[in-house]
């Protein structure tokens, strides 16, 4: 069943990210000039300023760096509180904000091995698949 | 005006201007009145607050209104344009500008304007009516002050937003790395509250114990209510003048000796959460100290932006006042209070004093360097440092007593 989420940022480059998610792939922009992975999606590379990117596929493996739980309702009841959020270091070195799937903060410890899943969700722009993480 | 307009830290601008007038609104009284909502009470407008702060600063400086030939204004959450503000304050300045809202750029900008001969004495005015307009920090409708969405806007689909979440992630990582527990962070909140209680116009005036701290509700776990700053209305005005004109005025002038800036260019969350902005603190601190011709050991008093209890820890360790992982030990040992090595946030900071985007920290610093801080005066004070660091940038200012 599809889950309601707060709105994504959409637009030419952003749509590509979600399109890949829809295909079950986590891909992020990689600067073709200097090779840096850039996240979140930016207009220009945050290392060399180049504006040309390819979409590099991430393995989907990562480890837990930090986490926090929203207790105050910042999203006007779109999401039932409290809920956990996680900061994952992808195998490729990038830090990625996400949410845990099938575990909670009580189970979390630094360095915990994680693996990508894509969850069926929708926002005001329609259906999409959200990258989330399960315990590896 | 953007913070990109910050003038370069250069030795030649050190000590060129001094703060000679200070005016603040009564944060504590206004906050309590807004809570009590007594009959006939009306919420002050940003204009009203700005006029109060300016008139107080002018009177404090002993200058005549006609001496003020420069005006910089910041109405962070809306207010009159600079020309309207000048009329409101009864000024006809030859130099009129908007200054960047948070206390990172305005004083260096005033310094540069005066050094370039655009004016001799400048009133720098800031007003916010935060609580009045019900501003919330975080959530789906967050608007960055610059009008552009901050990068973390991007994480909405995962339910991740708010400034508080940044500090929560940072603290969780730090906690794991250095083996700290929740009560450790409480030490900062409790000490800051004690400082607030020595300042009659601090918003918060009741003591908190560690039980109060740990028993308070979570906002973004692991951060609780007392880990996050207060929200209140207010205005501040500084009158800044050429150093050579500052000598014969009512109060001991407070010279702007140095500033610095370091902005995270890439991988912002990594720089904040895992890096605690340490290289950025080092770089910005080096600039400010070099400009001032001082070393870190010369700093006797520290006013630092404490949007959360986590920020002072980052700052103390980032600049090198404490080794990584040890800032809380400094706090517990009393080193951040009167009689300690580096008294910090003596008017209660933002956690318990007032949320004035760093301006009220500088106001306290001025009182301290004038030796007019009463029961909370840091003895024999000659050099103070201010810091404001957001999630991705660090801005120190260094001040000296006298010109
Ligand atoms: Zn590049």
Are the beta carbons of B67 and B94 closer than 8 angstroms?
A: no
Element (H, E) at B286: helix B278-292
Question: What's the pLDDT score for residue B134?
Answer: 54
Lookup: tokens for B114: 């005066």
Whether residue A118 is predicted with pLDDT greater than 80 in this model: the reply is yes
The answer to whether B35 contacts chain A (CB < 8 Å) is no
Facing residue for A6 by CB, picked from B140, B165, B221: B140
B8 has pLDDT over 70:
yes
Does the ipTM surpass 0.90? yes
By DSSP bridging, strand B301-304 and strand B383-389 are: parallel
Percent of chain A with pLDDT over 90: 88
> Which domains does chain B carry?
11-133+232-246 (3.40.47.10), 141-227+260-403 (3.40.47.10)
Q: Report how many Cβ contacts below 8 Å link chain A to chain B.
A: 116
Average pLDDT (A27-51) is: 94
Q: What is the DSSP letter of B352?
A: I
* Structure tokens, A102: 């099938």
The alpha carbon of residue B312 is apart from the nearest alpha carbon of chain A, in Å, by 20
- Tell me what percent of the residues of chain B surpass a pLDDT of 70: 93
B317 Cβ contact partners less than 8 Å away, ≥ 6 residues apart: B276, B278, B281, B323, B324, B325, B326, B327
Q: How many angstroms separate the CA of residue A28 from the nearest CA in chain B?
A: 13
Q: DSSP letters along B178-235, please? A: HT--HHHHHHHHHHHHHHHTTSTT-S--S---HHHHHHSPEEEETEEGGGB----EEE
Percentage of residues in chain B with pLDDT exceeding 90?
83
CB distance A99–B158 less than 8 Å?
yes
Least CB-CB distance to A68: which of B136, B138, B220? B220
- Span between the terminal Cα atoms of chain B, in Å: 29
For the cut 60, the answer to whether the pLDDT of residue B278 exceeds it is: yes
Cis check: omega of the bond before A40, within 30 degrees of 0: yes
Cα–Cα distances (Å) from B122 to B8, B73, B275, in that order, read: 20, 10, 38
Q: How confident is the model at residue B141 (pLDDT cuts 50, 70, 90)?
A: very low
- Span B16-26, average pLDDT: 98
Residues in chain A within 8 Å Cβ distance of B217: 71
Q: What does the pLDDT read at residue B185?
A: 96
Q: Say what the pLDDT of residue B76 is.
A: 83
Phi, then psi, of B321 in degrees rounded to 5: -70, -25
| pTM score of the predicted model | 0.94
Alpha carbon of B193: minimum distance to chain A alpha carbons (Å): 23
Report the length, in residues, of chain A: 136
| B269 in contact with chain A, both atoms CB, cutoff 8 A | yes
Note the pLDDT tens digit of each residue in B383-396: 999 999 999 999 99
pLDDT in tens, A23-33: 999 999 999 99
Q: Give the C-alpha separation, A45 to A36, whole Å.
A: 7
CB contact under 8 A, A72 and B219: yes
User: Residue B399 belongs to what H/E stretch?
Assistant: strand B393-401
pLDDT in tens, B224-275: 999 999 989 999 999 999 999 999 898 999 999 999 999 999 999 999 999 9
Phi-psi region at B117: left, alpha or beta (left = phi > 0; alpha = psi -120 to 50): left
**Which chain B residues have a beta carbon less than 8 Å from that of A99?**
158-159
Is the pLDDT confidence value at B150 over 60? no
User: Inter-chain contact A5–B157, Cβ cutoff 8 Å?
Assistant: yes
Query: Which pair of tokens denotes residue B176?
Result: 């794991």
Burial of residue B324 (CB within 10 Å: 0-12, 13-18, 19+) is middle
What is residue B132's predicted lDDT score, i.e. its pLDDT? 55
Distance CA B282, CA A77 (A): 41
Q: Which of B135, B139, B159, B265 would best serve as a mutation to test chain A binding (most A beta carbons within 10 A)?
A: B159
Q: Which residue has the higher pLDDT, B161 or A64?
A: A64
Q: How far is A40 from chain B (nearest CA, A)?
A: 7
Q: Look up residue A6 and give its two tokens.
A: 């707060």
The tally of CA atoms less than 13 A away on the side-chain side of residue A5 is 29
Give B273 or B1, the one with higher predicted confidence.
B273
8-state DSSP, B12: G
So what's the pLDDT on residue B148?
A: 36
Contact B221 A99 (CB under 8 A): no
Residue B368: pLDDT band by 50, 70, 90 thresholds?
A: very high
Residue A80 has pLDDT above 90, yes or no: yes
Residue B172: list chain A partners with CB under 8 A: 66-68
pLDDT tens-digit series, residues B289-324: 999 999 999 999 999 999 999 999 999 999 999 999
- Nearest chain A residue to B138 by CA distance is A74
Say how far apart CA B55 and CA B53 lie, in whole Å: 6
């Amino acid at each position: 069943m599809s889950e309601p989420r707060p709105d994504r940022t959409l637009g030419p480059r952003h749509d590509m990210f979600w399109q890949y998610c829809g295909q079950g792939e986590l891909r992020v922009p990689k600067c073709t000039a200097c090779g840096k992975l850039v996240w979140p999606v930016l207009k220009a590379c945050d290392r060399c300023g180049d504006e040309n990117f390819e979409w590099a596929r991430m393995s989907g493996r990562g480890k837990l760096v930090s986490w926090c739980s929203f207790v105050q309702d910042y999203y006007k009841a779109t999401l039932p509180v409290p809920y956990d959020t996680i900061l994952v270091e992808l195998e490729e070195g990038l830090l990625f904000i996400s949410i845990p799937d099938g575990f909670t903060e009580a189970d979390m410890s630094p360095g915990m091995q994680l693996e990508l899943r894509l969850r069926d969700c929708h926002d005001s722009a329609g259906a999409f698949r959200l990258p989330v993480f399960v315990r590896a | 005006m953007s913070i990109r307009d910050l003038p370069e830290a250069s030795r030649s601008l050190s000590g060129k201007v001094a703060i000679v007038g200070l005016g603040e609104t009564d944060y504590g009284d206004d906050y309590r009145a807004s809570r009590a909502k007594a009959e006939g009470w009306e919420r002050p407008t940003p204009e009203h607050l700005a006029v109060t702060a300016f008139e107080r600063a002018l009177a404090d400086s002993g200058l005549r209104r006609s001496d003020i030939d420069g005006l910089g204004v910041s109405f962070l959450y809306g207010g009159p344009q600079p020309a309207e503000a000048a009329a409101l304050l009864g000024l006809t300045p030859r130099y009129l500008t908007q200054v960047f809202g948070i206390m990172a750029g305005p004083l260096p900008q005033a310094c540069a304007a005066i050094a370039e001969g655009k004016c001799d004495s400048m009133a720098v005015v800031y007003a916010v009516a935060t609580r009045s307009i019900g501003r919330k920090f975080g959530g789906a409708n967050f608007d960055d002050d610059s009008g552009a969405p901050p990068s973390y806007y991007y994480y909405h689909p995962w339910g991740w937003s708010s400034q508080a979440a940044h500090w929560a992630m940072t603290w969780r990582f730090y906690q794991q790395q250095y083996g700290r527990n929740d009560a450790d962070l409480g030490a900062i909140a409790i000490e800051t509250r004690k400082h607030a209680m020595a300042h009659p116009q601090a918003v918060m005036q009741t003591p908190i114990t560690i039980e109060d701290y740990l028993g308070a509700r979570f906002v973004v776990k692991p951060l609780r209510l007392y880990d996050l700053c207060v929200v209140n209305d207010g205005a501040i005005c500084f009158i800044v003048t050429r150093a050579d004109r500052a000598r014969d005025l009512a109060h001991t002038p407070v010279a702007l000796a140095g500033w610095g800036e370091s902005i995270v260019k890439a991988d912002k969350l990594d720089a904040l959460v895992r890096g605690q902005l340490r290289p950025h603190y080092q770089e910005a601190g080096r600039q400010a100290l070099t400009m001032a011709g001082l070393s870190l050991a010369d700093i006797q008093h520290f006013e630092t932006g404490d949007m959360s209890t986590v920020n002072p820890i980052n700052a103390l360790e980032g600049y090198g006042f404490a080794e990584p992982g040890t800032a809380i030990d400094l706090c517990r040992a009393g080193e951040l209070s009167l009689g300690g090595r580096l008294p910090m946030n003596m008017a209660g900071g933002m956690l318990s004093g007032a949320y004035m985007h760093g301006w009220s920290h500088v106001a306290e610093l001025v009182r301290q360097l004038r030796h007019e801080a009463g029961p909370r005066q840091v003895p024999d004070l000659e050099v103070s440092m201010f810091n404001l660091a957001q999630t991705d940038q660090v801005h120190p200012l260094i001040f000296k007593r006298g010109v």
